[in-house]
Amino acid sequence: MPSQVSQNKQFGIERTLSVLAETKNEAALPVLISALDSSDMTIQEGAIRALLARRSPIGQRELLSRLHRGGERWRQIIGEGRGQLTQALRDAVLGADAQMCANACDAVLWFREYDLMQSLITAAEDEANENSTLAAKTLLSLADLLYEQLSSPRDYNDRRDPQLVRAHVVSSLENSIRRFNRHGRSEIMIAFLTLAERDNAVLKQILIDPLHPVYLAVVDGLLHQERSGVMRMLLSFLDDPHAPSTAMGVLARRSDQKFVQHVLRKIGYEPSAVARANLKRVENIPWLRGRFEVLDALDDACQHSAVKMLMASNVKRTDAFKVIEHLLTKGKPGGRRMASEAIAHFHGALANTLVLKALEDEDPCVQAAVVSQLRARGIPEALTRLIALVDSPHQIVREAAAGSLSEFDYDRYLSAFELLAEDVRKSTGLLVKKVNSHAIPSLREEMKNHSRTRRLRAIAVACAMDAVAQLEVPILALLVDEDHLVRAEAAKALAVCDTPAVRQALREAMRDRALIVQETAERSLQELAQRATRSHTPLTAADARTAEALP
């Protein structure tokens, strides 16, 4: 029974509120206003909906006057009918009542009432308005909310197109910027910088005219504001083929860590052609001078980009060298690697000393970058250092060293082999084998060539390069070559290769149909036997009989 009474009461309240919302009798208004202060939340919330439905200016003002006491539930209900309080909000923003204005400003932000931006601008510009400062701060916060919305994926449940909203808001801000010398509201200028795009005509007009009334304020805002919208707009000038010099100067002067990281991430691994052209106009980057605190706090990727930014700029060479020196000796791996490449653009004793120091860096990539610079710098004993580095445990260093020893190229050596003196053949051949990882595989293929002359040359090259042991199998194959001269040269070459397979093959070659092959095989076996005796290597029975039979 009590439950039924409660339901009937609830139905009665709802029915009454519905009638009060729909009736044209103005006497309903005071009843609904008094219901806003009811302790019964059902009555209170119903009264809110009824007043919103009646669209009465008086009712809207009463709602707004109590908004700071209503809490989250009031905010939700009023938010469902967003736009129904617009006139009351506008009147409160422009009015003199401090509490009403505060409530209105809160509501403008809660409900993102972008249509009230002009009202906020008007209130902020009015020096006689005691609430002008609050209006200015609200205006700036509203601009931040719009920027956040523009930067996020669009919510299509909201029928307002944020791009169209921005165009309307920026237009209002532009008009206020033109009056800046009268009101001097920095919040309006910052809101403009937050939402304007780099090709905005008013903005460009300001940046190209140092005598413009807003020039100093805009430059100060671009230089110090950490708002994402302002930084984004300033960074976008890097991609502008016609970026104002002022914008590029400000971009380079900013030394706050957050912005520096943003600009370096935008530059990335390699700046675009437009960004490179713009950076070329920069002659001073303060955070790349002095004690390098900002530089040292950067991560690998940003230090890499910092070098790219520096080298693309027009900073003095002496200042640039100090940065490269610092990074090459104290930077993170990414910074040291890029600095090791950039040092190639600097010459002289100091740069040479830095290069030699970098050869000892623990990072193989750093070593490889400076290895390729040794000979061009005329560093003493560069050739000796390069030859030693061919044996580096790191492949990238070995390849860099080999690339700097181009005169020891295998193909060049092979083509000039017949023209070289015997001692030069040997000394150069050893380096060619050391420097060229493909020398042995290439020589192996050369031994299969159809030309007898090239097969003979391949055997001679193998001997000069001291590579017979590495080419034992293909040389053994030449012991049965169709040409007796090739067979003889193969037998001669194998005299330095003491393995069971070689000995057996030479013994078989002693029965070759060509006398020269027989004699050469005998001499090679004799040399092997003598070498084994000198080194106290035990001979097999077959080797002993062979040695006794040799003259």
Q: What is the pLDDT of residue 406?
A: 73
Three-class SS of residue 364? Answer: helix
Proportion of the chain above pLDDT 90, given as a percent: 51
Q: Could you tell me if residue 231 is inside a domain?
A: yes
Could you give the 3-state DSSP secondary structure of residue 23? coil
Q: What is the pLDDT of residues 42-62, one digit of tens each?
A: 666 666 666 666 566 666 676
Domain-embedded: residue 14 = no
What integer pLDDT is reported at residue 548 of this predicted model? 40
**DSSP states of 450-498 as a string?**
S-HHHHHHHHHHHHHTT-TGGGHHHHHHHTT-SSHHHHHHHHHHGGG--
- 238 is a domain residue: yes
State the chain's mean pLDDT as an integer: 84
Q: Is residue 417 part of a domain?
A: no
Question: In what helix (H) or strand (E) does residue 338 lie, and over which residues does it extend?
Answer: helix 333-342
502 within a domain of the structure (yes/no): yes
**Distance from C-alpha of 59 to C-alpha of 54, rounded to nearest angstrom:** 8
| pLDDT exceeds 80 at position 82 | no
pLDDT at residue 539, as a whole number: 44
Q: Considering 293, 319, 346, which residue would you say is the last residue of a domain?
A: 346
Q: Which of 346, 380, 403 is the last residue of a domain?
A: 346
DSSP string, 105-168: HHHHHHTT-GGGHHHHHHHHH-TT-TTHHHHHHHHHHHHHHHHHHHHS---TTS-S-HHHHHHH
Q: 178-199: per-residue pLDDT in tens?
A: 998 888 899 999 999 999 999 9
Q: Supply the pLDDT for residue 61.
A: 75
User: What's residue 196's pLDDT?
Assistant: 92
* Cα–Cα dist 66/69, whole Å: 6
Task: Give Cα separations from 322 to 4, 54, 310 (angstroms).
Answer: 87, 73, 11
Residue 141 in any domain: the answer is no
Range of lowest pLDDT (32-36, 257-261, 295-299, 519-523):
32-36
Asked if pLDDT for residue 535 goes beyond 70, the answer is no
| C-alpha span between 379 and 376 (Å, rounded) | 8
Instruction: Tell me the average pLDDT across 238-255.
Output: 92
Q: Which amino acid is at 281?
A: R
Q: Domain range for residue 225? A: 197-346
Q: Give pLDDT tens digits for 426-457.
A: 888 888 888 888 889 999 999 999 999 999 99
Query: What are the tokens at 209?
Result: 């005219």
Flag whether 281 is in a domain.
yes
Number of structural domains the chain divides into: 2
Predicted confidence (pLDDT) per residue in 449-485, tens digit: 999 999 999 999 999 999 999 999 999 999 999 999 9
Helices (H) and strands (E) in the chain, counts: 35, 0
Is pLDDT of 79 > 80? no
**Of residues 389 and 287, more confidently modeled:** 287
**197-211 average pLDDT score:** 92
**The pLDDT value given to residue 403:** 79
On whether residue 109 sits in a domain, the answer given is no
The pLDDT value given to residue 449: 92
- The 10s digit of each residue's pLDDT in 295-349 is 999 999 999 999 999 999 999 999 999 999 999 999 999 999 999 999 999 999 9
Q: Tell me the per-residue pLDDT of 132-163, one tens digit each, with 9 for 90 and over.
A: 999 999 999 999 999 998 887 777 667 778 88
- pLDDT band at residue 401 using 50, 70 and 90 as cut-offs: confident
Residue at which a domain ends, from 292, 312, 346: 346
Beta carbons of 231 and 225 less than 8 angstroms apart: yes
User: What pLDDT score was predicted for residue 219?
Assistant: 94
538 vs 529, residue with greater confidence: 529
**In the 8-state DSSP scheme, what is residue 56?**
-
